[in-house]
Amino acid sequence: MIEAITFDLWETVIRETAESGRKVREARGRNLYTLLDEQGYPGTLEQVEAACEKVGERLRDIWARHEDVSAEEQVRMLLGALDDDDWRAPRDHMVLANLEWAYVSPVLRSLPTLTPGVGELLSGLRAQYRLGLICNTGRTPGAMLKIVLQRLGVLDHFDVLTFSDVVGVRKPDPQIFSLTLDHLGVPPDRALHVGDDVSTDVRGARQIGMWAVLLGGLDASFPADDRVRAIETLTELPRILDQVTGQGEQVQG
């Protein structure tokens, strides 16, 4: 019997278009440059954007180890990339706080959209299941994503929200799934995870014994697993839950 369902965030609960992603990146660079210029930074907007790219390269190395860092640390990386003999990066607490806001807040001006049908789905599931969110964050931290979810009207559907920048580990590391289930108070074999990525979502969930549902088709190379399902749209999830419940009852019998 399934008692809890956890969801991936990006491309599962919410979606970002190429256009909205571009707007967020451009706003981040402009916001940072404006504040740095006020602090006497002698460089150009293009140099700030290049420094953001360097931070991205470092982040990808960190993320490849299934680790994560806070937005504050990302801003410190950025300042380190800009710091040289001609200009010393600011150390003032208030300036750093303003830079961090400039770094993380652009998503609020170009909100992602909800996946079609997800609001109604979550509302219906809450009557029967504990619901959780497990998100690998990028440049936009969990604190901002909570605001995004609130503005999109789905924040209150979740009992537990787990963000990688907060806990320091990323999917598919089993720890991020275990932490979420501990807070939900549900064992892995009574929980199901829904996401769009085979490596992070499906394999991550299966490592600790959760059921897994892949949003999108499983390719032929994925090994057979009777606790993995694939759906094309989230509206199919209730049907999968009925199947899983029936299978669980057969196993128990």
Q: Are residues 61 and 117 in the same domain?
A: no
Q: Are residues 159 and 240 in the same domain?
A: yes
Distances (CA, A) of 244 to 77, 78, 226, 232: 45, 47, 10, 17
Q: Are residues 101 and 154 in the same domain?
A: no
Q: Are residues 225 and 128 in the same domain?
A: yes
Q: Are residues 95 and 130 in the same domain?
A: no
Q: Are residues 205 and 185 in the same domain?
A: yes
Q: Are residues 92 and 119 in the same domain?
A: no
9-67 pLDDT, tens per residue? 999 999 999 999 999 999 999 999 999 999 999 999 999 999 999 999 999 999 999 99
Quickly state the pLDDT bin for 247 (edges 50, 70, 90): low
**Quick check: 222 pLDDT over 90?**
no
**Quick check: 253 pLDDT over 50?**
no
Quickly state the pLDDT bin for 252 (edges 50, 70, 90): very low
User: What residues make up the domain containing 39?
Assistant: 18-109
Q: Are residues 77 and 133 in the same domain?
A: no
What are phi and psi for residue 136, nearest 5 degrees? -80, 110
Distances (CA, A) of 111 to 20, 22, 74, 119: 7, 12, 21, 16
Query: What CATH number is attached to the domain comprising 193?
Result: 3.40.50.1000
Q: Are residues 55 and 24 in the same domain?
A: yes
Q: Are residues 139 and 154 in the same domain?
A: yes
Question: Which of 49, 237, 13 lies closest to 134 in space, CA to CA?
Answer: 13
Global pTM reads: 0.93
15-54 as b/e, with b when 16 or more CB fall inside 10 Å? ebeeebeebbbebbbebbbebbeeeebebeeebbbebbee
What are phi and psi for residue 117, nearest 5 degrees? 85, -5
The residue out of 56, 87, 109 marking a domain boundary is 109
The residue out of 86, 109, 132 marking a domain boundary is 109
CA distance 35 to 25: 16
Q: Are residues 230 and 168 in the same domain?
A: yes
129-141 pLDDT, tens per residue? 999 999 999 999 9
The answer to whether the CB of 3 falls within 8 A of the CB of 186 is yes
Q: Are residues 159 and 245 in the same domain?
A: yes
pLDDT of residue 224: 79
The answer to whether the CB of 138 falls within 8 A of the CB of 144 is no
Based on the structure, what is the number of domains in the chain? 2
